[in-house]
Structure 1
Amino acid sequence: MFSSPKKAIDLEPFRLLSTHCIESTSFGTTEEHFKFLILAYGFLHGLHLLPEGHMHLSRTPYRVGELTGLVPQGSDLQQGMSHLNHYYEASKPECKKQIFATLHWFLMGQSYRNVWDQFDAQYKVLDSIHSLAKKQRKVQTRPRIPHATVPQRLAKIFGAYTPEWAIMNKAENSCELSKIRNDFIHDAIYSEQAIGYKHSKINFGIEFPEFNLKLICGILGLKTDFIQRKFTRGKGTWNFYIS
């Protein structure tokens, strides 16, 4: 006999009080552009900020740096926002949409409670980064690149530190990340067991978002030595520089 829960817990969307106001001196700034600037400002703070009136679908952090492990200091905000704004303005419409989707899901995807859902979200971010790289012709589109080689190829292109789980195993023609992803997507298996029955030995909850963050910095042209750093457990700074 199965017992039913005494009370179901409903997770409903919720609003938070506005904390910032954004203004533009440029004539004709579109609503989409404003939404991107809000997203970018939150990204630089390691937070998921939404326009007034929008609602959060799940838990969301409030401590600066929580979603990136990085906090802005000195001129980081000024340099970061200036660069991201110019990058967005110079991008083609299809790239603008992809840039927004990449940053949004990188931040939003970390709100999941289960590690396998977080993993799935971050793999979508990785795919989005790769899609943007193809749109910007930073990676070849013909002949088709084997899916398992994508993480290492992107890391090489952007000079990012490559974790062992993203390095191709030529003997198996795969990397550990792609193997876990294929099992998860196609067979409902995570870390060699049915989803929910086993945690991975790799801390994807920390390492995967950090790897994606390095690739995001690379593809958006954000100059920071964070891209080459090995994994860290504490908070650091952006420390943007002009090359």
Structure 2
Amino acid sequence: MSAQIIHIPQLLTANELIQIDDLIATAHFVDGKTTASSAAKEVKNNLQITPNDTALQQIQSIINTALQQSPLFNIAALPKQIYPFVVSKYQNNQSYGWHVDSPIMGSPAIRTDLAMTIFLSDPNSYQGGSLMIQNDQNVVTLKPAKGDAVLYPCQFLHCVEPITAGERLAAVSWIQSNVKDSAQRQILFQLNQVHGALHEQAPHAPATNLLLQTHSNLFRMWADV
């Protein structure tokens, strides 16, 4: 897997997933093409909950709370703005062909630095439906556990394979980061991971403090606020 594609295991707890399942059961789904850009309309074939549905608003609230409480998400994304989550459904050979996300979304507009998919179906409950991401080296195929999330740069081409059996549910959003350059964001992520390991071994050592200082100074240098 590419270093820029971050897998976040168990972003949602079992209890949160039960709440979301109950809300999805009451929600109204419409053709996903209604929110696609002109280019994406040609390859998008799915359903999604209508934006004004109260069930969707409750799901968004649950997810946003989980994101606030996820150290891995916040370290990797360095989020500034998060687009309201869209909940999509794929069934009966539906898919989302190869595409790149719009660079600007919403009103007020945000720059889409990162995309996030949260998987809301057990991978054993459907066939096909993998998230595929074309990075600089190869194609990464992902079909993680229910409640897991995948975070990846929006400049990568990606698609959802056709569903051949069952039903795939997912929540999708886009993030404007406080650091818009993906390489700089990756450096900060790696430094944070190393600092965490050093802090466990020697929290007050000079090297630990120096690494934290270096991370902070680079973040300050690169921050887009």
**TM-score, structure 2 length as denominator?**
0.28
| Higher percent of residues as strand | 2
Larger relative contact order (Cα-Cα within 8 Å, sequence gap ≥ 6):
2
Q: Of the two, which has the highest radius of gyration?
A: 1
| Higher percent of residues as helix | 1
